[in-house]
């Protein structure tokens, strides 16, 4: 309403990227369990590992010139 569409777009990209961390957690946890890691250790490790890719890719997409505010 106030014309902040560019800033809104950037925040939506960041939000979507970090929301996908939950999906990454769900994909990596079974992998560690299948290689016989104890569940408690695997969950702690994966809960930290799920942020790695998303904290790099999301801000990287925001900084790209093609995704800059309109």
- The mean pLDDT value for 12-37 works out to 86
What is the model's pLDDT at position 25?
86
What is the model's pLDDT at position 8?
84
pTM of the shown model: 0.59
Q: What is the 3-state secondary structure (H, E, C) of 8-70?
A: HHHHHHHHHHHHHHHHHHHHHHHHHHHCCCCHHHHHHHHHHHCCHHHHHHHHHHHHCHHHCCC
Give the domain range for residue 56. 21-63
Tens digits of residue pLDDT in 25-63: 888 888 888 998 898 898 888 888 888 877 777 777 777
Residue 1 in any domain: the answer is no
DSSP, collapsed to helix, strand or coil, labels residue 2 as: coil
What is the model's pLDDT at position 54?
79
What is the model's pLDDT at position 69?
55
Residue 42 in any domain: the answer is yes
Residue 10 in any domain: the answer is no
Q: How many CB atoms lie within 10 A of CB 41?
A: 10
């Amino acid at each position: 309403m106030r014309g902040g569409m560019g800033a809104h777009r950037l925040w939506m990209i960041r939000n979507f990227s970090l929301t996908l961390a939950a999906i990454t957690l769900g994909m990596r946890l079974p992998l560690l369990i299948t290689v016989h890691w104890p569940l408690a250790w695997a969950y702690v490790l994966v809960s930290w590992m799920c942020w790695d890719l998303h904290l790099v890719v999301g801000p990287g997409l925001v900084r790209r010139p093609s995704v800059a505010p309109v």
